[in-house]
Amino acid sequence: MSIHRAETDEQIAACFAVMRQLRPQLTTAEFVPWVQAQTSAGYRLVYCEADGQAVSVAGYRVIENLAWGRFLYVDDLVTDEHHRSQGQGDRLFEWLVAEAKQLGCGELHLDSGVQRFAAHRFYLRHRMDITSHHFAMKLG
């Protein structure tokens, strides 16, 4: 297992099948351009590879705000359904924590849908705390 940054179109595209398991609304045609657009705003995409394929994918940003200072925000974190409970998600999460520290972040944050019970167990096992509720409003 090795972790790589998805920087080329080919590397980004190789993450699509796994990312779609978390973000089913995405299409193949829009995925690479969407990631590229977010990259210009600070989004970074990384993946854990096993046997030449992406099996875990994470998208993250470094953000600064008044509430938490400088922190790493994980937008996306998913392991392929056929590779769960094999350590790839753990390894990628540990990589994200190390990356946050290396980038001078004081905290790591993420949001998780209320229905994602297995993900919640994963985050709690990794010593994350439930610290807030996230509210949203559709505008249109």
Q: What is the pLDDT of residues 30-84, one digit of tens each?
A: 999 999 999 999 999 999 998 899 999 999 999 999 999 999 999 999 999 999 8
Domain presence at residue 52: yes
User: Residue 94's pLDDT band (boundaries 50, 70, 90)?
Assistant: very high
Q: Structural domain tally of the chain?
A: 1
Domain presence at residue 66: yes
**Percentage of residues in the chain having pLDDT higher than 70:** 100
- CATH code for position 43: 3.40.630.30
**For all residues of the chain together, what is the average pLDDT?**
95
Domain presence at residue 74: yes
Domain presence at residue 45: yes
User: Residue 87's pLDDT band (boundaries 50, 70, 90)?
Assistant: confident
Higher pLDDT, 85 or 27: 27
Task: Name the residue range of residue 105's domain.
Answer: 2-126
- Looking at residue 86, what is its pLDDT? 87
DSSP 65: E
- The count of residues in the chain is 140
CB proximity list for 24: less than 8 A, separation 6 or greater: none
Of the chain, the end-to-end C-alpha distance in Å amounts to 43
Domain presence at residue 134: no
* d(C-alpha 127, C-alpha 67), whole Å: 21
